[in-house]
C-alpha cells in the first residue's frame, strides 16, 4: 500500500510480471517488502495453486545449501536419506531465492546449469529429472554493485535479471508513512484486542523525521512497541510511547557509525557514558518523568535504570529542571 510514484511504479511492474513465466529479480534494502512482492506475484500468476517455496540464501550454511536446493540421495553421505530439494518441491510453482548475493559462487554455477537445462540431479544421485519452477530472486543491494564486486556471476545474473523490480526504501517514500502506520495500528488492534485510534501530531512528526534504516519492518516494530507501552484506556500513540531509536536523527546515526572520522584520540568510555546519559535524559523527558515507562522504552529493567539514574545523578537534575517532587515511580 502507498501512493508514492516510485513505489507505484514497482507495483505496476510486478503486476505485469504475473502474466509471464520469466525470471524476476527484486532489489531493495532489507525490510522493503521483497518477499511480499514475490509472493504476491506468485498468487496472481497461473501458478497460484502450486507451491511457493522461499529460502534465504544467507541463513543456510553453504555446505547444506546444495542438498536443500537439489535434494539428497540415500547413501550419498553418512546419514543421507532420500529427500526432495526445493526445486522439486517448487515444481510447477515458484521458487524464491532471497539474498541471492549470499549464495556461494560454486553453487551459482550449478544453479545456472539447472536454469539452462531445467533438470536437477540430487546430491549423490545419478538420475536427472526435469523441474518446472519459476525463479524469483532478491538481493539487498543493487545489481551493478553485486557485479562489480564479483559477488554474482555475470552469466547467472543476466539469466535471472529478465525482469527487474526495485523496491524503494521507506526514506524514499516518507509520504506513505501515515497510511502504513494506520494499517499497522489496525493490525495490532485486532491482534491485541485494543482500540487505538491513531497517532498524535507530535508523534507523527517524529516518525516523519526518522531515517527508518530498517524500512517498513522497522516501522511495524515501532508501532508494535508503542502498543506495548500504552496504558489501559489510552487510545492515541504519543511521543513517549515510541521506541528510543525513533528520536535518533540520521546525523546521529552517521556520527556513531563512523568513528574513523575523528581526527584525534578520544576517550571512548567517557563518550559512551555521555551518550547513555543523554539518551536517558531525553527519554525521561518524553515519558514525563515516569521511570517504568522510560525503562521499557529503553529496553532496560527498572532496577537497571534506577542504578543509572543514581550513577549519573539524573534525578537531581530532572527535579531541578522540571520543579517536580520525587515519588515512587515519577522522578
pLDDT tens, position by position, 212-245:
988 999 999 999 999 998 888 889 999 989 988 7
Q: Determine whether 191 is exposed, middle or buried from the number of CB atoms within 10 Å of its CB (0-12, 13-18, 19+).
A: exposed
From residue 79, give the alpha-carbon distance in Å to each of 32, 181, 307: 39, 49, 53
Using left for φ > 0, alpha for ψ between -120 and 50, and beta otherwise, residue 104 falls in beta
Position 179 confidence tier, pLDDT thresholds 50, 70, 90? very high
Cα–Cα dist 224/171, whole Å: 20
List phi, psi (to 5°) of 73: -110, 140
pLDDT of residue 27: 94
Cα–Cα dist 210/316, whole Å: 31
Cα–Cα dist 206/247, whole Å: 7
CA atoms within 13 A on the CB side of 70: 28
Query: b vs e for 97-114, b when ≥16 Cβ sit within 10 Å of the residue's Cβ?
Result: bbbbbbbeeebbebbbeb
Start-to-end CA distance of the chain, whole Å, equals 43
Which residues make Cβ contacts (< 8 Å) with residue 137, sequence separation at least 6? 23, 24, 25, 26, 96, 97, 98, 100, 160
In residues, how long is the chain?
A: 331
User: Is the model's pLDDT at 90 over the cut of 90?
Assistant: yes
* Residue carrying C-alpha cell 538481493: 139
C-alpha cell read off for 21:
513465466
Which residues make Cβ contacts (< 8 Å) with residue 174, sequence separation at least 6? 208
Sequence spans of domains, the chain: 5-168, 177-322
CA angle 225, 57, 147 (to 5 degrees): 110
Position 255 confidence tier, pLDDT thresholds 50, 70, 90? very low
What is the bridge-based pairing of β-strands 24-27 and 163-166?
A: parallel
Work out the widest C-alpha separation in the chain, in whole angstroms.
81
Which of the listed ranges 109-118, 262-271, 282-291, 312-321 does the model predict with the highest average pLDDT? Answer: 109-118
Q: Which helix (H) or strand (E) holds 130?
A: strand 128-130
Question: So what CATH class is 5-168?
Answer: alpha beta
Radius of gyration of the chain (CA): 25
Cα–Cα dist 122/8, whole Å: 41
Options 3.65.10.10, 3.40.50.920, 1.10.10.10, 1.10.8.60; CATH for 177-322 is 1.10.8.60
C-alpha cell read off for 172:
524514499
* Residue carrying C-alpha cell 515444481: 91
Q: Tens of pLDDT along 54-86?
A: 999 888 888 888 888 988 887 666 666 788 889
A 10 A CB-CB count for 59 gives: 10
Position 303 confidence tier, pLDDT thresholds 50, 70, 90? confident
Which residues make Cβ contacts (< 8 Å) with residue 299, sequence separation at least 6? 244
pLDDT of residue 265: 63
Amino acid at each position: 500500500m502507498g501512493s508514492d510514484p516510485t513505489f507505484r511504479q514497482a507495483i505496476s511492474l510486478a503486476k505485469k510480471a504475473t502474466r509471464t513465466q520469466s525470471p524476476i529479480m527484486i532489489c531493495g534494502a532489507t525490510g522493503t517488502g521483497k518477499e511480499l512482492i514475490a509472493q504476491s506475484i506468485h498468487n496472481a500468476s497461473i501458478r497460484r495453486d502450486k507451491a511457493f517455496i522461499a529460502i534465504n540464501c544467507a541463513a543456510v550454511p553453504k555446505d547444506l545449501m546444495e542438498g536443500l536446493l537439489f535434494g539428497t540421495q540415500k547413501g550419498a553421505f553418512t546419514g543421507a536419506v532420500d529427500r526432495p530439494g526445493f526445486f522439486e518441491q517448487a515444481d510447477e510453482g515458484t521458487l524464491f531465492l532471497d539474498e541471492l548475493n549470499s549464495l556461494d559462487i560454486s553453487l551459482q554455477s550449478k544453479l545456472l546449469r539447472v536454469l539452462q537445462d531445467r533438470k536437477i540431479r540430487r546430491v549423490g544421485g545419478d538420475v536427472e529429472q526435469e523441474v518446472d519452477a519459476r525463479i524469483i530472486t532478491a538481493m539487498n543491494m543493487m545489481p551493478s554493485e553485486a557485479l562489480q564486486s564479483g559477488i554474482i556471476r555475470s552469466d547467472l545474473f543476466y539469466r535471472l535479471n529478465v525482469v527487474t523490480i526495485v523496491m524503494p526504501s521507506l526514506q524514499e517514500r516518507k509520504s506513505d508513512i501515515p497510511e502504513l502506520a494506520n494499517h499497522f495500528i489496525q493490525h495490532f488492534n485486532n491482534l491485541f484486542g485494543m482500540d487505538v485510534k491513531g497517532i498524535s501530531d507530535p508523534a507523527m512528526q517524529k516518525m516523519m523525521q526518522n531515517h527508518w534504516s530498517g524500512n517498513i519492518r522497522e516501522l511495524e516494530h515501532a508501532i508494535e512497541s508503542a502498543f506495548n507501552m500504552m496504558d489501559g484506556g489510552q487510545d492515541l500513540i504519543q511521543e513517549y510511547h515510541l521506541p528510543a531509536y525513533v528520536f535518533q536523527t540520521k546525523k546521529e546515526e552517521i556520527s556513531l557509525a563512523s568513528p574513523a572520522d575523528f581526527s584525534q584520540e578520544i576517550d571512548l568510555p567517557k563518550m559512551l557514558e555521555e551518550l547513555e546519559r543523554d539518551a536517558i535524559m531525553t527519554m525521561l523527558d518524553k515519558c514525563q518523568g515516569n521511570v517504568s515507562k522510560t525503562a521499557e522504552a529503553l529496553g532496560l529493567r527498572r532496577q537497571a535504570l534506577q542504578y543509572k539514574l543514581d550513577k549519573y545523578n539524573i534525578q537531581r537534575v530532572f527535579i531541578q529542571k522540571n520543579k517536580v517532587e520525587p515519588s515512587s515511580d515519577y522522578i
